[in-house]
């Protein structure tokens, strides 16, 4: 997968509607978190980005994921081997080399959550994300 196609896929993912799951809040607007997951044969890299309104400008999320925010997770397998992704009770099917997958969830509980590729045993295929 070329970098240009990856950027296009991430941009397209940012237009996904989360309105059907939105609930009313009186103290703070809902945030949308875009999680970009790049899996290579050497490990997993995760980036998180935040917008305060749908179709808003995405900014890097510099800290923990705020509780109550909606997560749109785009997973790209840039490796030559099949991989998968598991996070917060959600799991993709096996993603073929050059393939992609998508998960959607809400961060409803505070804590530290493990992400992993269950097909890979190395520690480079695991990490933690915090919901505060």
Please give the share of the chain, as a percent, with pLDDT higher than 70.
73
Coil, strand or helix at 62? coil
Q: What is the pLDDT of residues 76-87, one digit of tens each?
A: 999 999 999 999
Q: Supply 124's token pair.
A: 């480079």
Q: Which residue has the higher pLDDT, 100 or 18?
A: 100
CB 33 within 8 A of CB 108: no
CB atoms within 10 A of CB 114: 11
pLDDT of residue 23: 46
The count of domains in the chain is 1
Which domain, by its residues, includes 32? 3-131
- Given a cut of 60, whether residue 32 has pLDDT beyond it is yes
Q: What is the pLDDT of residues 48-97, one digit of tens each?
A: 999 866 666 888 998 999 999 999 999 999 999 999 999 999 999 999 99
The pairing of strands 32-40 and 70-77 is parallel
Q: Which CATH number belongs to the domain containing residue 56 in this structure?
A: 2.60.40.420
Q: Where are the beta strands (DSSP E) in the chain?
A: 32-40, 43-51, 59-60, 70-77, 86-87, 90-91, 100-106, 111-116, 126-131
Question: Among 18-27, 43-52, 53-62, 118-127, whose mean pLDDT is lowest?
Answer: 18-27
pLDDT of residue 31: 79
């Amino acid at each position: 997968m070329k970098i240009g196609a990856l950027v296009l896929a991430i941009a397209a993912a940012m237009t996904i509607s989360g309105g059907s799951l939105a609930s009313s809040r009186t103290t703070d607007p809902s945030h949308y978190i875009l999680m970009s997951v790049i899996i290579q044969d050497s490990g997993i890299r995760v980036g998180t980005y935040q917008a305060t309104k749908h179709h808003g400008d995405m900014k890097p999320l510099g800290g923990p994921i705020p509780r109550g925010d909606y997560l749109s997770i785009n997973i790209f397998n840039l490796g030559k081997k099949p991989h998968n992704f598991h996070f917060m009770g959600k799991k993709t099917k096996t993603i073929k080399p050059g393939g992609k997958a998508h998960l959607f969830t809400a961060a409803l509980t505070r804590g530290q959550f493990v992400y992993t590729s269950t097909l890979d045993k190395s520690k480079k295929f695991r990490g933690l994300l915090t919901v505060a």
